[in-house]
Structure 1
């Protein structure tokens, strides 16, 4: 069957299913599961015979939204909060995984710009990071403790201040997505350029490794979470600019709801990053190298697994379960 004929044959069925999903028109979970199986069959057919078709992406997203609905209509004995992070949030992350890819691409493009700009303009680092911060850091480098600035203040005071600031940045990044994603892009630009200039400064002073094994103890989760929050903002912007088959208001509501869930899913990692910065980073110089590097690798692995690998595992598991009905 030609792709055009395949789409024409099933288009009305897909659109009706899509409207039913987003308007809660399924009263019987078994009916929803049955139609979901038909959708998965169509997706498998498209992947087999039209591997480069854009219809695969559409059916993938529709299937992801459908099994979210199926999951919610099932009776759950597990704790609602636990089930959110265990299943619901990963399913939403999987559905909108391309926005996570966009956010990482945007962020690292600006990190690169920050590095290149700092390398070609001696005043750039001070412009981005501020005179006071740069001067204090240079003094600390001369004293043999490049990350001493992270050791000031009390443990609890630092933890709370840093955590609330990072939560604010994440929420702001999401809300700014209402400007068609441009506001979120601006937040990613600010943080990306700052990170690039920041790391170049330490490289230029010959203490890059010392900065990495100190700052990235908390930075692995902190930066990763900022990018995921940026993805939620881009999703919000896209829901306004590209409503697809929905009215703009309906699309916006969906974007807000799903974007907020992605945003909330980052909060435990943001809080963990604040804890590490307040209680662990300050002791990085006293740690053996294997311990500081181990903490960095473990924290980076945990958040990478949760947002990049685990959602696919959940998707495949639920798809397999309902395909067997």
Structure 2
């Protein structure tokens, strides 16, 4: 893009930001990110331009505005969870929808395949797992698989594995989103086949009330990690006005922030699977309560609250 076109496209935004350095932290953070992206682009293509020096000065002002009252690192840490992460997710709800739809379709395909082919479940879950679970069902404790390891051992193993899956879903986005698609699709197939297996045994409700104690957070976080992978992958596919490299750097940075933000959720899911899910004799209302609390948290923090922040940002800019 020619420098004149770049300036014409962004001048109104820069003038607004220059005259209105708001005190709203989420608006400040978003504008600072936009300015750093513009500055990076300008430094790459117009390093000697006066416009680049202007952007550098304006970005510095926003940096000072953001951090002048942040005397402790804890404040920045809290700001990330309160504003930056949900605001970032709000900007990429379309990618999140793609990840959810792919996972949902894969679940359906997995369940349908298991219904049409008796060998499909064994192909996906493995003979050892299926035979062991059938033995547990015959013994009268179908969910005994969650009691076979020590609580701490299972917590650490499951948490590590889930974080690994999430980072794979993100990192494989570098293959133009195809890798992320495959990770999400594969996990969806597994879940669909898994749930149909218990349905066929007449244990669908039992499995749901047990597995989704931890699965609500775990599956939601995997889908969100898929969103992060699509953010990075789509930055390569659709660089818009940026160079492909600049767009990729921006997409990779934003996707990584989302994945890092999911780590506490995976830790919580691992804790639930290691210490709570094993108590298959717990009252149904307690199991349902844990599942509902987890679902409400995911819906509010990653869907409703980010939209509220985005709307607040839009209204604030309109008011000014």
Q: Establish whether TM, by shorter chain, passes 0.5.
A: yes
C-alpha separation between the residues in 2 aligned to 1:30 and 1:146? 64
Aligned counterpart for 1:82 among listed residues 60, 78, 89: 78
Distance 1:281 1:74, change over 3 A: same
CA deviations 1:26-49 (Å, max 9, x no partner) are 699543659xxxxxxxxxxxxxxx
C-alpha separation between the residues in 1 aligned to 2:107 and 2:8? 41
CA deviations 1:49-73 (Å, max 9, x no partner) are xxxxxxxxxxxxxx99537559864
Matches within 5 A, 1:94-173: 94-173=90-169
Is residue 319 of structure 1 aligned with residue 314 of structure 2? yes
Q: What's the TM-score once normalised by structure 2's chain length?
A: 0.81
Q: Which residue of 2 aligns with 1:16?
A: 10
Q: Which residue of 2 aligns with 1:66?
A: 31
Is the contact between residue 184 and residue 233 of structure 1 (CA under 8 Å) also seen in structure 2? yes
C-alpha separation between the residues in 2 aligned to 1:17 and 1:186? 41
Secondary structure at the aligned position of 2:278 is classed as helix
Please report how far the alpha carbon of residue 304 of structure 1 lies from its aligned counterpart in structure 2 after TM superposition.
Answer: 1.8
C-alpha separation between the residues in 1 aligned to 2:33 and 2:86? 10
Please report how far the alpha carbon of residue 196 of structure 1 lies from its aligned counterpart in structure 2 after TM superposition.
Answer: 0.2
Q: Which residue of 2 aligns with 1:31?
A: 19
C-alpha separation between the residues in 2 aligned to 1:179 and 1:150? 35
Distance 1:199 1:92, change over 3 A: same
C-alpha separation between the residues in 2 aligned to 1:147 and 1:290? 18
C-alpha separation between the residues in 1 aligned to 2:290 and 2:271? 13
C-alpha separation between the residues in 2 aligned to 1:64 and 1:14? 24
CA deviations 1:300-322 (Å, max 9, x no partner) are 11112111111011222333345
Aligned counterpart for 1:301 among listed residues 296, 302, 306: 296
Matches within 5 A, 1:232-311: 232-283=228-279, 285-311=280-306
Please report how far the alpha carbon of residue 323 of structure 1 lies from its aligned counterpart in structure 2 after TM superposition.
Answer: 4.2
Is the contact between residue 188 and residue 227 of structure 1 (CA under 8 Å) also seen in structure 2? yes
Please report how far the alpha carbon of residue 153 of structure 1 lies from its aligned counterpart in structure 2 after TM superposition.
Answer: 1.1
Unaligned runs of 5+ in 2: 23-27, 36-61
Q: What's the TM-score once normalised by structure 1's chain length?
A: 0.80
Is the contact between residue 29 and residue 84 of structure 2 (CA under 8 Å) also seen in structure 1? no
Is the contact between residue 64 and residue 94 of structure 1 (CA under 8 Å) also seen in structure 2? no
Q: Which residue of 2 aligns with 1:50?
A: none
CA deviations 1:162-213 (Å, max 9, x no partner) are 0011000000110000000010111011100000000000000000111011
C-alpha separation between the residues in 1 aligned to 2:226 and 2:80? 20
Is the contact between residue 17 and residue 31 of structure 2 (CA under 8 Å) also seen in structure 1? no
Root-mean-square deviation (Å): 2.6
Secondary structure at the aligned position of 1:74 is classed as helix
C-alpha separation between the residues in 1 aligned to 2:8 and 2:101? 32
C-alpha separation between the residues in 2 aligned to 1:227 and 1:100? 7
Is residue 207 of structure 1 aligned with residue 203 of structure 2? yes
C-alpha separation between the residues in 2 aligned to 1:120 and 1:271? 36
